[in-house]
């Protein structure tokens, strides 16, 4: 049995309790279940209880005596942050394209000319397993340094069975080796290979007939994602790919309505996707249908920020009853950041969300977006002992003092993995 750990006296202990059965929607997104002067006890990697300091000390006197103590006075404790949409495993960077975009070229034009996702696909195909592992591991460290304890990670820079498997295997290995948990998504349908642009159907067939069955058989992914966008995969190709994944037990996710309205949101509702991501141009009808179908909307404002595009209208979507999560979309082209706290800042400053809503969107609702709400996303008995301690006196300061890293300590599965901002 691991040594117990007692975290005490937090100025604010944000438990996010009571949202495990259902993702938080509308007013529920403001309910943090915040305890002032809060403490919690973790034993054997799992939360025993979180509550008022006095109550927890009285109830667990002896067990607390045997535990390691971590004093959180003057600080804010939250559930470990959850990033529900990343392209963690890839090789190389694309700062050259950033410079081209600053001079006025568009993201899609660069991609259609063979750059963009194709550039990272070439780099990822050429990279050996070890290089891919090393580059991705560094990023995972950075996630931890910024308070994140679980990330979803997509394939999609392989575009052949061999190289898609290589990406998923690296993710699988990191899941075993690194404290941050990884939830894997197959995204063979991330781009149509350059030399098949004019005749994409055979590639769609390969995703369905060759890749999905093997990925499922090897148990390398839980979710199946498609980039449904004009010039990439059409709604009907996306539907075929997502339905095929369902036959093999892969739950649909979708990159929807990012650049143009393209009925990706409607498709998400139709196929029963667990989440629909991006949604900058989602139609009102699509938003309604997703809300009714309990799809979680995952917004990625780092992409709008970095591509200098209009932001998604989070306010409208929350008010329409869509459960909302936030993510970095960490990738080398449209959002090369791993800072989920910065994404929370953008949620407040650029998408009309409140500080409470962005907290919900990066904890319990993010956990729902990756099917993990029963294990993570809140500080409740039986859940994983995953938490982040921010060196701020209240959570409002997280979005007030923006663009800096306030993370002091990260506990993962009951172990201190970051202390004083240093990896342990
Ligand atoms: O989520 N939109 C498509 N895919 C990624 C970008 C990937 C890339 O540019 O490398 C995204 O934004
Ligand atoms: Fe993405």
Q: What is the CATH number of the domain that holds 181?
A: 3.20.20.140
Q: Is 303 in the pocket of ligand 1 (CB under 6 A)?
A: yes
- pLDDT exceeds cutoff 90 at 29: yes
Q: Is 333 in the pocket of ligand 1 (CB under 6 A)?
A: yes
| Cα–Cα distance for residue pair 339/71, rounded to 1 Å | 25
Q: Which atom number of ligand 1 is nearest to the Cα of residue 258?
A: 2
Shared domain check, 405 and 349? no
Shared domain check, 161 and 75? no
| Cα–Cα distance for residue pair 324/303, rounded to 1 Å | 16
Q: Is 331 in the pocket of ligand 1 (CB under 6 A)?
A: yes
Range of the domain at 404: 5-80+377-423
Q: Per residue in 199-254, pLDDT tens? A: 999 999 999 999 999 999 999 999 999 999 999 999 999 999 999 999 999 999 99
Shared domain check, 189 and 121? yes
Q: Which pLDDT value is given to residue 2?
A: 82
ipTM tops 0.90: yes
Give me ligand 2 centre to Cα 153, in Å: 10
- pLDDT exceeds cutoff 80 at 295: yes
Q: Which pLDDT value is given to residue 121?
A: 98
Shared domain check, 291 and 147? yes
Shared domain check, 280 and 182? yes
Over residues 113-118, mean pLDDT: 96
Shared domain check, 308 and 178? yes
The last residue of one of the domains, among 326, 352, 370, is 370
Q: Which pLDDT value is given to residue 203?
A: 98
Question: What's the CATH code of the domain at 412?
Answer: 2.30.40.10
Q: How many domains does the chain have?
A: 2
Q: Per residue in 137-169, pLDDT tens? A: 999 999 999 999 999 999 999 999 999 999 999
> pTM surpassing 0.90?
yes
Q: Per residue in 347-388, pLDDT tens? A: 999 999 999 999 999 999 999 999 999 999 999 999 999 999
| Cα–Cα distance for residue pair 162/62, rounded to 1 Å | 54
Q: Which pLDDT value is given to residue 3?
A: 87
Shared domain check, 226 and 297? yes
Over residues 91-104, mean pLDDT: 98
């Amino acid at each position: 049995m691991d040594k117990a750990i007692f975290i005490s006296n937090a100025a604010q202990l944000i438990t996010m309790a009571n949202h495990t059965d259902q993702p938080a929607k509308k007013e529920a997104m403001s309910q943090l279940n915040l305890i002032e002067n809060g403490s919690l006890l973790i034993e054997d990697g799992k939360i025993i209880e979180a509550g008022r300091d006095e109550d927890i000390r009285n109830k667990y006197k002896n067990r607390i005596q045997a535990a390691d103590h971590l004093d959180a006075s003057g600080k804010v404790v939250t559930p470990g942050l959850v990033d529900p949409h990343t392209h963690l495993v890839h090789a190389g960077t694309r700062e050259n394209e950033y410079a081209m975009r600053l001079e006025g070229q568009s993201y899609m034009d660069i991609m259609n000319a063979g750059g963009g996702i194709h550039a990272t696909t070439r780099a990822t195909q050429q990279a050996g397993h070890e290089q891919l592992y090393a580059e991705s591991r560094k990023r995972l460290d950075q996630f931890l340094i910024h308070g994140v304890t679980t990330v979803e990670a997509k394939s999609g820079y392989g575009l052949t069975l061999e190289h898609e498997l290589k990406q998923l295997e690296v993710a699988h290995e990191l899941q075993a080796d690194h404290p941050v948990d990884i939830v894997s998504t197959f995204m063979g349908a991330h781009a149509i290979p350059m030399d098949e642009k004019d005749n994409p159907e055979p590639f769609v067939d390969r995703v369905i007939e060759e890749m999905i069955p093997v990925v499922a058989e090897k148990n390398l992914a839980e979710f199946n994602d498609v980039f449904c966008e004009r010039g990439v995969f059409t709604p009907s190709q996306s539907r075929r790919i997502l339905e095929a994944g369902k036959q093999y037990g892969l739950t649909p996710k979708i990159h929807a309505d990012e650049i143009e309205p393209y009925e990706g949101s409607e498709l998400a509702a139709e196929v029963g996707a667990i989440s629909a991501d991006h949604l900058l141009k989602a139609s009102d009808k699509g938003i309604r249908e997703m809300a009714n179908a309990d799809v979680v909307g995952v917004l990625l404002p780092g992409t709008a920020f970095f591509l200098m595009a209009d932001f998604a209208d989070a306010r409208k979507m929350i008010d329409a009853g869509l459960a909302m999560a936030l993510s970095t979309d960490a990738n080398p082209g449209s959002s090369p950041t791993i800072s989920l706290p910065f994404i929370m800042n953008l949620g407040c400053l650029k998408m009309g969300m409140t500080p409470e809503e962005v907290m919900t969107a990066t904890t319990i609702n993010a956990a729902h977006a990756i099917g993990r709400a029963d294990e993570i996303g809140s500080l409740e008995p039986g859940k994983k002992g995953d938490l982040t301690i921010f060196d701020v006196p209240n959570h409002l300061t997280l979005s007030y003092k923006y663009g800096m890293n306030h993370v002091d300590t990260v506990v993962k599965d009951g172990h201190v993995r970051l202390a004083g901002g240093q990896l342990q």
